[in-house]
Structure 1
Amino acid sequence: MDQRSPSATVRQGYMTRNRLAVSLLFLLNGFVIGSWAPKIPEFKDRLGISESVLGLLILMFGIGSLVLMPIAGGYIARVGSQKVVKVTAIILSPLLLLLTLVPDVWTAAVAMFLLGGFAGAMDVAMNANAVEVEKSMRRAIMSSCHAYWSLGGLIGAGIGGFLMARFGVLPHVLVVTAICLVLIVAAWPMILADKPHPGAAKEKLRLPMTPLPWLIGIMALFSMVPEGTVLDWGALYLRNELGASVELSGFGFAAFSATMATMRFAGDFVRDRFGAKRTLRICTVTALVGMIVAGTAPNAYIAILGFAIAGIGISNMVPIAFSAAGNMPGLQPGIGLSVATFMGYSGMLFAPSLIGFVAEHTGFAIIFASVPLLFIVVLLLSHHAIHADHAKGH
């Protein structure tokens, strides 16, 4: 027999709705990013630009993210994550439509800056809201939220090529925009209304001077650099250095993504069972083993297995770092998260280009075998993951 009072049952219902809402927001953000990926060849051809110019435009995406993320963090501290995530989601939704209509490179650069900026700003806000939902539920939900982001990316990339081939470029972005608006309408009334700290509204927007947020930022950075490395260079490594076919070379990132998404759905249960610190250490060692297997593999099949093992490990490293960043004592969740997301995503956006330059002289095998050195730093900092358990009222 259920002994809970009616008020407890109602509260549980609200928390379930809050969790569904923030999951839909992660799904939306991932869906927009995933929908952008299949548009890139058409975007390049329509503007008549070279690979190097396209690279600069993609760099504008990264710069936009890194500019607006700290600003979003400051506003979250002042007005709460609910308001910021609503505004950023509304602005983000039609930006792929804007990118499809830009007439030249200069307006494309502005549109790319806005796309990266508001995708990044929404990322900070939805992670901050997820931290608040974790606190209200007193259990981990961050890993499954990131799993919904991965699922959104998979759906966006999966249907994008089909819609463009069957119906055309403009209908594709109109469908994407419509789906985003439906997700916003569904999530809107259920988004947790968090309250900023009473003194936060009067504070100036500034980055924290204490070392803890930056140490957790380093954890996020060194967890996300390997993810960007596999995304951007895994297929080339399999193709050029291990003799994989064109078809097989795509399975490296596919295996990595599949195990990552699967383990993110399981990650909250694991974290609640073993605690954030132990879970982070297990995941980091698993990722380290996987990357070493990939980097020292004698053939493509072993390398793909290594990437799959690495995906299992990396899956919950970033969610734990973000939960810890949003639960630091004496610091507003938006501020800590803006540091962690800023540093983490800068690793994904900029490190792979540096790795490409180094790999021209060394080859990719040594790169993938050396990346685990970053995980050793994460292990050394892993005791800070205990802050992620504050969401459960510890």
Structure 2
Amino acid sequence: MTQAAGPVPRDSGVIGARWAVSGLFIANGILMGSWAPKLPVLMQRLQISESVAGLLVLVLGLGAVSMMPIFGAMVTRLGSARAVQVAAVLATPTLLLISLMPGLWSVAVAIYLFGGFMGGMDVAMNANAVAVERARRRAIMSSCHGFWSLGGLAGAGAGGVALYYLGEIGHSVLVTLVFAAILLLVLPRVLVDGATEGQAKAEPLRLPRSPLPYLIGLMSLCSMIPEGAIIDWAAVYLRRDLGASLSLSGFGFAACAGAMAVMRFMGDGIRQRLGAVRTLRIGAMVGALGLGLAALAPTPALAILGFGLAGLGISNLVPIAFSAAGNLPGIAPGIGMSVATTLGYSGILLAPGLIGFAAEHLAFSIIFGALALLILSSLLFSRLARFADFDQQNH
């Protein structure tokens, strides 16, 4: 397996390699979060319907899924530091490009590039987090995803205000400047890793024959589909099926997102103490219990509690899966990571439409109950989480 080159460099000022990769997650979260309040503005400017807007969201997802393997290969050939530099720089102008494009087709191309380079950055920064974990012999992946959640909340929360006061282009300029400023601060301090020349030549850029990265990808898929379902459908379930008020219906996703953010900052310490396998198993059971409670809840309050419990449970499943994918024996970290992330994020891409179709024929209580079983199915692959662990004698 390709190993990270050298130890983590000493901190420069207040930011070292560990905080540099955390900064990348914050920047990616800010830019992605800024997309959320932008879609209604695009719909108004382009005079498009909800169905066409849904296709634009699909284009974003297709961009991400198609670019992830390319940047995974780049990680293998050049190292995660170089790959994340390329992806981040290419992603920098894309939100502004979306605002400047005049028509539907040009906007669609810009959205594809936005999703593609953001997806490429996602693969590369996760691979860099794995390299930092290996070099430091300490788990950091869960907190990195916690920083992404904070960035996403900041981008989405401040985005509406910025759009109101600055307009579409002004909002994009501001977000682009913030994103670029973070990159200028953290990119010089990112851990430089990469294969030796001989290793890079010895490892062909092809899909791995081992089933391990695909199984880990399925494991992440089992948690990302329920997460996507809560994002898109919790409010509809609370309002339509449980009679929640409009103001209360948004608390389903808020409870899940808040619990996930908090638990992700605690997840590295829990993983260090309990091990990745046990942490994943406990998380899967808690997540399934939460979704089961939401499915069976007779009142909105109990359902919201269930969604919060689900957030606690599933918060660390994906970070553990990604750490494991980047440490598989005999598989380059970039290749393993790209397979796992592509399969995992396809759940976010496919879940909204499939669940919307199912909701026309089934009650949401049945759907969320089935998703609880899906989370439990990740236990079938839980032994694979052992690849995310480090040699305990070094602690």
Task: State the TM bucket, normalised to the shorter chain.
Answer: over 0.9
- The Cα shift of 1:377 comes to 1.7
Cα distance change on mapping 1:393 and 1:77 into 2, 3 Å: farther
Question: Does the CA-based 8 Å contact 2:283-2:314 persist in structure 1?
Answer: yes
Gaps of 5+ in 1: 1-7
Question: Does the CA-based 8 Å contact 2:228-2:351 persist in structure 1?
Answer: yes
1:150 is matched with which residue?
Answer: 149
- The Cα shift of 1:61 comes to 0.5
SS at match of 1:199: helix
SS at match of 2:389: helix
Cα distance change on mapping 1:15 and 1:69 into 2, 3 Å: farther
Residue 305 of structure 2 is aligned to residue 305 of structure 1: yes
- The Cα shift of 1:29 comes to 0.6
1:87 is matched with which residue?
Answer: 86
**Aligned AA for 1:170?**
I
User: What is the CA–CA distance in structure 2 between the aligned matches of 1:189 and 1:326, rounded to whole Å?
Assistant: 23
Question: Does the CA-based 8 Å contact 1:234-1:252 persist in structure 2?
Answer: yes
Q: % of aligned pairs identical?
A: 53
Gaps of 5+ in 2: 1-6
Deviation >4 Å, runs of 4+: 8-16, 391-394
What TM-score comes out, normalization by structure 2 length?
A: 0.95
User: What is the CA–CA distance in structure 2 between the aligned matches of 1:391 and 1:359, rounded to whole Å?
Assistant: 46
SS at match of 1:156: helix
- The Cα shift of 1:11 comes to 4.4
**Worse overlay, 276-285 or 200-209:** 200-209
Question: Does the CA-based 8 Å contact 2:12-2:189 persist in structure 1?
Answer: no
Question: Does the CA-based 8 Å contact 1:134-1:392 persist in structure 2?
Answer: no
SS at match of 2:111: helix
Question: Does the CA-based 8 Å contact 2:284-2:379 persist in structure 1?
Answer: yes
User: What is the CA–CA distance in structure 1 between the aligned matches of 2:172 and 2:68, rounded to whole Å?
Assistant: 25
Question: Does the CA-based 8 Å contact 1:144-1:264 persist in structure 2?
Answer: yes
1:72 is matched with which residue?
Answer: 71
Question: Does the CA-based 8 Å contact 1:138-1:393 persist in structure 2?
Answer: no
2:231 is matched with which residue?
Answer: 231
2:4 is matched with which residue?
Answer: none
1:351 is matched with which residue?
Answer: 351
**Aligned AA for 2:257?**
S
1:327 is matched with which residue?
Answer: 327
**Aligned AA for 1:206?**
R
Cα distance change on mapping 1:11 and 1:187 into 2, 3 Å: closer
Cα distance change on mapping 1:294 and 1:179 into 2, 3 Å: same
User: What is the CA–CA distance in structure 2 between the aligned matches of 1:376 and 1:300, rounded to whole Å?
Assistant: 24
User: What is the CA–CA distance in structure 2 between the aligned matches of 1:65 and 1:245, rounded to whole Å?
Assistant: 35
**Aligned AA for 1:35?**
S
2:256 is matched with which residue?
Answer: 256
**Aligned AA for 1:327?**
N
Cα distance change on mapping 1:275 and 1:14 into 2, 3 Å: farther
Deviation string, structure 1 residues 184-207 (Cα, Å, up to 9, x no partner): 001021100002243224644211
User: What is the CA–CA distance in structure 2 between the aligned matches of 1:144 and 1:24, rounded to whole Å?
Assistant: 11
- The Cα shift of 1:112 comes to 1.1
**Aligned AA for 1:189?**
P
What TM-score comes out, normalization by structure 1 length?
A: 0.95
Question: Does the CA-based 8 Å contact 1:143-1:264 persist in structure 2?
Answer: yes
**Aligned AA for 1:64?**
G
Cα distance change on mapping 1:97 and 1:46 into 2, 3 Å: same
User: What is the CA–CA distance in structure 2 between the aligned matches of 1:31 and 1:144, rounded to whole Å?
Assistant: 16
User: What is the CA–CA distance in structure 1 between the aligned matches of 2:87 and 2:166, rounded to whole Å?
Assistant: 29
- The Cα shift of 1:390 comes to 3.7
User: What is the CA–CA distance in structure 2 between the aligned matches of 1:9 and 1:232, rounded to whole Å?
Assistant: 40
1:200 is matched with which residue?
Answer: 200
Question: Does the CA-based 8 Å contact 2:27-2:151 persist in structure 1?
Answer: yes
Deviation string, structure 1 residues 187-242 (Cα, Å, up to 9, x no partner): 02110000224322464421111111111111011110000000011110001000
**Worse overlay, 141-150 or 92-101:** 92-101
Question: Does the CA-based 8 Å contact 2:138-2:390 persist in structure 1?
Answer: no
SS at match of 1:168: helix
1:242 is matched with which residue?
Answer: 242
- The Cα shift of 1:13 comes to 7.0
Alignment of structure 1 residues 158-173 onto 2, 5 Å = 158-173=157-172
1:106 is matched with which residue?
Answer: 105
- The Cα shift of 1:373 comes to 1.5
- The Cα shift of 1:328 comes to 0.4
Question: Does the CA-based 8 Å contact 1:78-1:196 persist in structure 2?
Answer: yes
Deviation string, structure 1 residues 110-147 (Cα, Å, up to 9, x no partner): 11111111111100000000000000110000000000
User: What is the CA–CA distance in structure 1 between the aligned matches of 2:335 and 2:387, rounded to whole Å?
Assistant: 15
Cα distance change on mapping 1:80 and 1:297 into 2, 3 Å: same
2:3 is matched with which residue?
Answer: none
- The Cα shift of 1:365 comes to 1.1
User: What is the CA–CA distance in structure 2 between the aligned matches of 1:31 and 1:193, rounded to whole Å?
Assistant: 24
Residue 170 of structure 2 is aligned to residue 141 of structure 1: no
1:294 is matched with which residue?
Answer: 294
SS at match of 1:225: helix
1:280 is matched with which residue?
Answer: 280
